[in-house]
């Protein structure tokens, strides 16, 4: 089911950024720790994190203790709130890159699944302009996959038909 809630989208963007350069299973195993460390991904709380809280996060073995990734999460919460303050709905914004509906690909093989697309490049640039960090085109495409914005399961995969519904 496609994700559309602001908090869930913030969570997925955070986790996709944390995953950059790492195995996705590593992040899945740390997901609960991330939820706890980042206040259930409440952007209003995360945006108010102080340097002391950032330093606490960097000591937390339950998350990826990369200073740039931790700072990006705090910065992204602030950017999301700035969008909200400007009257922009984060969910509508990210979904606008796929026309508000999931893109249904019919990939024939795993080798035909790209790491980025025109839409993910456009999303990356637009998020960056709004102050978001760790939102390169590959991260944005992984985010689009994880949130149901694109269905690029290969047609032989049991999930392909299920994700079309």
Q: Could you give the domains of the chain?
A: 6-164 (1.10.340.30)
165 residues of the chain, pLDDT tens digit each: 466 799 999 999 999 999 999 998 999 999 999 999 999 999 999 999 999 999 999 999 999 999 999 999 999 999 999 999 999 999 999 999 999 999 876 666 666 677 899 999 999 999 999 999 999 999 999 999 999 898 785 555 555 456 566
Please check whether residue 144 is in contact with residue 119, taking contact to mean a CB–CB distance below 8 angstroms: yes
pLDDT for res 152: 84
Quote the tokens at residue 10. 């913030």
Q: Tell me 38's DSSP state.
A: T
């Amino acid at each position: 089911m496609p994700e559309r809630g602001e908090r869930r989208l913030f969570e997925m963007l955070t986790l996709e950024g944390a995953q950059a350069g790492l195995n996705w299973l590593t992040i899945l195993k740390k997901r609960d720790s991330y939820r706890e460390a980042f206040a259930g991904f409440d952007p209003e709380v995360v945006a108010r994190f102080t340097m002391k809280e950032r330093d606490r996060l960097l000591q937390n073995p339950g998350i990826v203790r990369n200073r740039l990734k931790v700072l990006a999460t705090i910065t992204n919460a602030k950017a999301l709130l700035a969008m909200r303050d400007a009257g922009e709905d984060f969910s509508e914004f990210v979904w606008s890159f796929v026309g508000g509906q999931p893109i249904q690909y019919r990939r024939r093989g795993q080798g035909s699944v790209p790491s980025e697309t025109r839409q993910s490049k456009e999303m990356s640039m637009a998020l960056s302009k709004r102050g978001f960090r760790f939102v390169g085109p590959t991260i944005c495409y992984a985010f689009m996959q994880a949130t149901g914005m694109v269905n690029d399961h290969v047609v032989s995969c049991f999930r392909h038909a299920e994700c079309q519904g």
